[in-house]
Chains A and B, each alone.
Chain A
Amino acid sequence: MKNIYQLIMLMTISSMALADGNVMPMKVPEKVKSECASCHMVYPPAFLPKESWTTIMSGLEKHYGTDASLDPQSIKEISQWLNQYAGTYKRVSSAPPNDRITEYTWFIKKHRKITDSTWRNSQVKSRSNCMACHTSADKGNYDDDDVRVPK
């Protein structure tokens, strides 16, 4: 009986951990698709903690070098979704430098074998262009098996 209880606990904990990884929430609101994804893929909200999303959403007129200003109602709707699914696990326990996913220690470590020439490749262009190599990143899939580094 005790074993069954332990098994159930283990399953609960592991599914909670999975729910907060790099997977995309099941439902991405239309507002998020139309506003965020008109310029870049929708990054999984769990890639950043709530405090980073708050900073980002309160400074959209200076959004990583471009003006992405938005009406107050849209900001409210999108923020609600981001805060709901923001990351709470260890990797993202504090905000990365400049609120950039690409400046997290884990990100730099994971990409340490990527050469400068690959980063500069015209098909890559930017570290934030996940889709250049992680072919199903927009679906929250960053599995090594689906990585195709452009040559």
Chain B
Amino acid sequence: MGLIIKTICIAIVGLLATNVWAVDPVSLEKQYSLEAKQPSSVARGEKFFTSKHGKEWSCASCHEAPPTKEGKHASTDKSISPLAPAFNSKRFTDEAKVSKWFKRNCNDVLGRECSFSEKADVMAYLNSFK
């Protein structure tokens, strides 16, 4: 009996663990939206993505708008592969990479970290491209 319970527990832990690590653009949008306690909005995401926020650059300065094609780094000119997941399947699949870049780029564009609702809206906008 103990063994069965043990096996079930391990299976549950395993499932939870896989869910934590398996990142994809749609589940990220849901996750941010849950944290923000409000539904995500494509329209708000588009406005946020294409507007400047008191600093020199917008998200679109490097990622283009729509972000379905290659962009260029605003200061170094290095090419940046498309950001919209439908046009680049590698995007938003590695959680550490996602948080690294949100932290850096939000700081460059807004001078602070992005809120969960801002991230949810940006994800909704990026996921809207098919």
Contact = CB atoms under 8 A, between A and B. Distances in A.
A37 to B, nearest CB: 8
A67 B56 CA distance: 13
Contacts of B108: 66-67
B5 to A, nearest CB: 38
B77 A129 contact: yes
Contacts of B77: 123, 125-126, 129, 132
Contacts, number: 38
A68 interface: yes
B18 interface: no
A41 B104 CA distance: 19
A132 B108 CA distance: 25
Contacts of B96: 71
Q: Interface majority SS on A: helix, strand, loop or mixed? A: loop
Contacts of B78: 38-41
Please classify the interface of chain B as helix (H, G, I), strand (E, B), loop, or mixed, using the class held by over half of its residues: helix
A67 B76 CA distance: 14
A39 B73 contact: yes
Nearest to B57: A66
Interface in A115-138: 123, 125-126, 128-129, 132
Nearest to A123: B77
Contacts of B100: 69-71
Contacts of A123: 77
B75 interface: yes
A128 to B, nearest CB: 7
A132 B77 CA distance: 9
A67 B75 contact: no
Nearest to A129: B77
Given A66-B108, A67-B108, A129 B103 contact: no
A10 to B, nearest CB: 41
Contact of A126 (B75, B103, B104, B107): B75
A66 to B, nearest CB: 5
Interface of A: 38-41, 61, 64-71, 123, 125-126, 128-129, 132
